[in-house]
A and B are shown apart, each in its own frame.
Chain A
Amino acid sequence: MNLETNYPDNIKEKLKLACIGIAGLGGLGSNSAASLTRVGIGKLILVDFDKIEKTNLNRQYYFQDQVGKFKTEALQENLLRINPEINLELHKIKLEPGSMSDLFKNADIVIEALDTAEIKAQFIEEVHSILHHIPLIAASGAAGYGNSDTIFTKQLGNLYIVYNPEAPSSDEGLLLAPRVSIMANWEADIAIKIILDGNDANHS
């Protein structure tokens, strides 16, 4: 069974030709990947070293019977149930400073979906300096609930940050499905906009 969509052929084609890299398959990455799969993106590069824990299910795109599995493999199962034709490139590795951009050099767009502020900063610095021609979409402030109106997209050239400056850190605030999914889907939405309308990186 294929993924059936009712949009015009040129839109389908653009989505199918796109390759999006996702760094981290937790709350941001798994939900982002699910939405991108649902709209018909042709290829995803999925990177995560971790296994699913019971407490991940309050916000991540996995199910009870997948606890203990690697996130890459479980997400592959779930995404193929949505679109059996999607091309998935899985990397079960931990991103380390010095080689963070390597897996993403052939992507059209990269989505940062990592957890700690430290690793987010490292990833953005490294990927945005080495792969400066590739749009990079990051998210900051995925913890908390309520007042989601404070979220906005901060665009600095090819770097897009889904930014919630009022958010607590996940060390202090709760990580819950609604807020995390909003941020994840906001990232996916920016990716779709870039694919369908082009990358307006003029204002930096």
Chain B
Amino acid sequence: MLLAVTNLIPESENMAGMAVSEAVDWLTSVAKNRDRQAFEHLYDYFAPRVKSYMMRQGADESSADDLAQETMVQIWRKAHHYDPRKSAVSTWIFRVARNLQIDRLRKHKLHEVELTAEAEHNDDGLGAHERFEKRPDAEKLTALIGTLPEEQMDVVRLAFFEGLSHSEVSYQLSIPIGTVKSRIRLAFDKLRMGMGEKI
């Protein structure tokens, strides 16, 4: 299982294939115009990654393919719920895939609340494009994630993509659970500081 960690090394050029603003345009066009071509662009980029995500969560290849297809069907159906002021496209798609995974593989549900704290304060007369700045800046976040020490990223990736609890991460990396948690805290402190927030 320790091999899994080395398999998680990201491909550096992945994001180069798609600008963040392009994804927003595609998803918005799917919502407004039922734009099939835009949907296929989203499919080309995201479906193979969602499939990869499902396999890491324990699905075999054919189930993962099926779950990735279903994620895309949900993206088509729920596209009108996407609000570019609140989240990046990748964040929104991650949530759709994650919730499907919990429902199908873990067979329970995840209670959530609307994360509208930012959106509620948007009556500031800014144009739509300026408002996009309100969501966590995806490109900045990508760059910041790239600066985190590997030992912190290993812990964060294992939690996100192997669906491991902290005690399972602790077991797999042979480090105490307190160390797992402190690495996660350090990683998030650094991300928050980089995003210009008070901690």
- A, B in one complex: no
